[in-house]
Structure 1
Amino acid sequence: MYHLYIGNLPSHMDEVLVQTTKSRRIHMGKEKENVNVEEAKEHKKKAKKKQEYEKNLPRKKRRKLEASKEMMGDEAENRVQKEKLYKTMQEPMMPNKLFKSHNIPESFPIVSEPGIFNAASVETVISSVAIMEMLKKEQLDISCILWYQIMLHSLMLVSRMDNKCGFINPQCITFTRCEYDDRDEIDYVINDLVDVMNFHEEKQFFLAPYWERKHWMLIVICPHQYKSYILDSARGTKTLKDYTIVENGCYKCNQQLSDWECGYYVMNWMHGFVIFRQHGFPKNILKDKKPFFSEELEERVKTWMRTFGDKVKPFCKRLIHGNHIVALQKLKSLFQLEW
Structure 2
Amino acid sequence: MDPPAPRTSRGINRIQDLPVGESVEFNQFGQAIGKWQNLYGKYMGTRTRRLIPIVKNTWKHVTKEEKDFLWSDIKAHFRLENNDVKKRTLVSCGTKWKAFKTKLRVKYMLKGISPLGKWTFIEPHVWEEFCQNENTPQKNKLRAQASERGKKHINRPRLGPKGYRGFEKKWQEERNDPEKATELHLIPDIRGSNYCLARAPHDKNGIKTLPPELINVSKNLIEATKKLAQGSDESKAGVDPLILVLGPEHGGRTRGVGCDVGYKKGIEGYVRKRRTYQQREDIEEIKNEVRQQMKEELKSSEFWDEMRLELKAEVRKEMQAERNEAFSPRQDDVPSSGQGRNSVSSITNVAKVDCIKELRKEMQAEHNEGFSPRQDGVPSSGHRRSNVSSTTSIVKLDCIKEEAFCCLYIPISVLNGEKVTCATATVFPIGNNLIHGKQIQKGHMKVSVIKVVEIHKSMELPVPDDEIPNLEFAVNGFIQWPINAIARFKGLSKAPVSRVSTKGGLPQHKKQPSTTHGNVKETLKEPNKKDKAAEETTKNKSAPDRITELAKQKERAEKEKSENRKKLMDLEHDIQLNKPKSVLDGYNRWMSRGGDCAEPYAIRVDKEIFRQADESYFAINATDIVELLTNQELECGILTLFEMSLYHLKGRSSLNRVGFLNPGLITADACLFEKWSTLDYLTRALEGYDFYLAPYLQGRHYVLFVICPRHGVAFILDSSKDSSKNEETYRLAGLVESVVGSLRWEFPAVNRQPFDWECGFYVMKWMHDFVLKYQNDNFPNIVPWSDERPLENKELNAIIGAWFMLWRD
- Shorter chain as denominator, the TM-score bin is 0.5 to 0.7
Mapping 1:263-282, distance limit 5 Å: 263-279=760-776, 280-282=778-780
Give 5+ residue unaligned stretches, structure 2.
Answer: 1-558, 570-595, 735-744
Cα distance in 1, alignment partners of residues 651 and 679 from structure 2: 27
1:140 aligned to 2:627?
Answer: no
AA at the equivalent of 1:306: M
Does structure 2 retain, via aligned residues, the 8 Å contact 1:170–1:208? yes
SS at match of 2:789: coil
Alignment correspondent of 1:217: 703
Cα distance in 2, alignment partners of residues 269 and 95 from structure 1: 35
Alignment correspondent of 1:39: none
1:155 aligned to 2:649?
Answer: yes
Mapping 1:104-143, distance limit 5 Å: 104-113=597-606, 115-118=608-611, 121-143=615-637
1:290 aligned to 2:755?
Answer: no
Mapping 1:1-339, distance limit 5 Å: 96-100=561-565, 103-113=596-606, 115-118=608-611, 121-157=615-651, 160=653, 162-181=655-674, 186-198=675-687, 201=688, 203-240=689-726, 241-246=728-733, 248-279=745-776, 280-282=778-780, 283-309=782-808
Give 5+ residue unaligned stretches, structure 1.
Answer: 1-93, 311-339
Cα distance in 2, alignment partners of residues 294 and 148 from structure 1: 19
SS at match of 1:156: helix
Q: Deviations over 1:156-203 (max 9, x none)?
A: 147x3500000000001101111214xxxx4221211110123xx2x1
AA at the equivalent of 1:105: A
Cα distance in 2, alignment partners of residues 233 and 195 from structure 1: 29
Q: Deviations over 1:108-158 (max 9, x none)?
A: 011245521127544321111111111111001000000000000001147
Aligned length: 209
Q: Deviations over 1:240-284 (max 9, x none)?
A: 143332262222211111111100000000000000001221214
SS at match of 1:216: strand
Cα distance in 2, alignment partners of residues 180 and 113 from structure 1: 25
Q: CA deviation at 1:235?
A: 4.2
Cα distance in 2, alignment partners of residues 235 and 161 from structure 1: 38
Alignment correspondent of 2:244: none
Q: TM-score, normalised by structure 1?
A: 0.57
RMSD: 2.2
Does structure 2 retain, via aligned residues, the 8 Å contact 1:130–1:141? yes
Residues 309/156 of structure 1: CA separation in 2 closer, same or farther (3 Å cut): closer
Cα distance in 1, alignment partners of residues 668 and 644 from structure 2: 22
Q: Deviations over 1:70-94 (max 9, x none)?
A: xxxxxxxxxxxxxxxxxxxxxxxx8
Percent of pairs identical after alignment? 29
Residues 188/258 of structure 1: CA separation in 2 closer, same or farther (3 Å cut): same
Residues 250/95 of structure 1: CA separation in 2 closer, same or farther (3 Å cut): farther
SS at match of 1:187: helix
Q: TM-score, normalised by structure 2?
A: 0.25
AA at the equivalent of 1:187: W
More helix by share: 1
AA at the equivalent of 1:110: I
AA at the equivalent of 1:106: E
Does structure 2 retain, via aligned residues, the 8 Å contact 1:106–1:129? no
Q: CA deviation at 1:227?
A: 2.2
Structure 1: 4+ residue segments shifted above 3 A: 99-103, 119-122, 307-310
AA at the equivalent of 1:195: R
Most deviating of 248-257 and 262-271 = 248-257
Residues 112/188 of structure 1: CA separation in 2 closer, same or farther (3 Å cut): closer
Does structure 2 retain, via aligned residues, the 8 Å contact 1:228–1:246? no
Alignment correspondent of 1:319: none
The structure showing larger relative contact order (alpha-carbon pairs under 8 Å, at least 6 residues apart) is: 1
AA at the equivalent of 2:722: G
Q: CA deviation at 1:291?
A: 1.4
Most deviating of 203-212 and 125-134 = 125-134
Cα distance in 2, alignment partners of residues 206 and 217 from structure 1: 14
Residues 239/293 of structure 1: CA separation in 2 closer, same or farther (3 Å cut): same
SS at match of 1:272: helix
Cα distance in 1, alignment partners of residues 601 and 785 from structure 2: 36
